[in-house]
Amino acid sequence: MNFWKSLHKPIMVLAPMADVTDPAFRRIIAKYGKPDVMWTEFVSADGLFLGGYDHLIKDLAFTESERPIVAQFFTSKPEMMRKVAELACDLGFDGIDINMGCPDKSIEKQGAGAANIKNSKLAQEVILAAMEGAKKDGKSLPVSVKTRIGYNKNEIETWIPALLETHPTVLTIHARTRKEMSNISADWAQVKRAVEIRDAFRDKDGKGSETLIFGNGDVTDLTDANKKVLETGCDGVMLGRAVYGNPWLFMDVAHPYIPTPRERMQALLEHLALFEELLATNTNFAVMKKHFKAYISGWDGAKELRVRLMETTNPEEARRLLGTVDVGIQG
């Protein structure tokens, strides 16, 4: 059941981003430039079982075109993590990921996200609970963790070994502390150090680690990602913000694809249609507006079009506006 073992390194994967990599956008990415592995947005394990199931389950919708796909969850409660891992098995996901890096204050108040870094023993219990729940009906889904290099300071020398003790399949390192947020450049030297820690690791039984180490933070494209792999020795890279408005991001390693304005507009129209089909009934249209700037850029008149798009209130208005644009724009 461990699909990770069948992938060629370096492995390039899509980062989970709240209100960005939703089911609509993931379908667009899968069509235009599919990464080696896709992630869902993070979903609250507590929320799924404490009153929010009908709303949150929609965030876990996926299609066969997105496989292999990993469901990401957050919680500080081992029992909830066990239950949500069982749910991931039932839903047919290929893997489970635990968010131990999100700096959102409302999530941290629950002891989840980046707050997990402050309690390594509980973090271990959460991971082990996920592994227990991931073994259901003959399945054994791989469990991975996404985290940071520390909370208020760099704690990689103690935090990474604590995670490795549970033997996760993948450990993705966002190369900043929680305190640093995204206010400074990601420190990829820490990803290299995490690889060294992994290579030297031995658990209490003397067993080494087979955990894959991925780096994350400030990666512009696949060329940049491969450069960072060579510099750090990591097994793969998770790309996030670079995919905004650019579902072609994972298309070509050697020659990053540069879409034409016409292609950008077509992709946006498809994205709008999928938003309306999959998300409009329970998601605010404002979620789509963060994509407008990314899609609509790079040609004369793009700024003015973006301003008008930001004034629309629903997908139909946006589609009508795009339909008035001269389709003869360069490209």
pLDDT at 331: 46
- Show the tokens assigned to 258: 């540069």
Least confident of 51-60, 169-178, 213-222, 245-254: 245-254
What are the residue boundaries of the structural domains of the chain, listed by start?
Answer: 3-243, 261-323
3-243 sits in which CATH class?
alpha beta
| Percent of the chain's residues with pLDDT above 70 | 97
* pLDDT greater than 60 at residue 327: no
pLDDT tens digit sequence for 189-207: 999 999 999 999 999 999 9
pLDDT tens digit sequence for 65-81: 999 999 999 999 999 99
- Under DSSP, is residue 257 helix (H, G, I), strand (E, B) or coil? coil
Q: Considering only residues 327 and 300, tell me which one the structure prediction assigns the higher pLDDT.
A: 300
Residue 177 near residue 149 (C-beta atoms within 8 A): yes
For residue 99, list its beta bridge partners: 146
pLDDT tens digit sequence for 28-56: 999 999 999 999 999 999 999 998 899 89
Strands 170-177 and 212-216: parallel
C-alpha–C-alpha distance, residues 74 and 112, integer Å: 6
Active site residue 89: no
Catalytic residue among 102, 173, 279, 302: 102
- Show the tokens assigned to 19: 């209100």
Measured in residues, the chain has a length of 331
- Show the tokens assigned to 6: 């069948």
pLDDT tens digit sequence for 154-172: 999 999 999 999 999 999 9
pLDDT at 253: 61
Cα Rg of the chain, angstroms: 20
Averaged confidence pLDDT in the chain: 94
C-alpha–C-alpha distance, residues 180 and 178, integer Å: 5
Report field, pTM of the whole predicted structure over 0.85: yes
pLDDT at 329: 52
- CB neighbourhood size of 118 (10 A): 16
C-alpha–C-alpha distance, residues 234 and 246, integer Å: 25
- CB neighbourhood size of 109 (10 A): 11
Least confident of 12-21, 172-181, 255-264: 255-264
* pLDDT greater than 90 at residue 82: yes
* CA-based end-to-end distance of the chain: 44
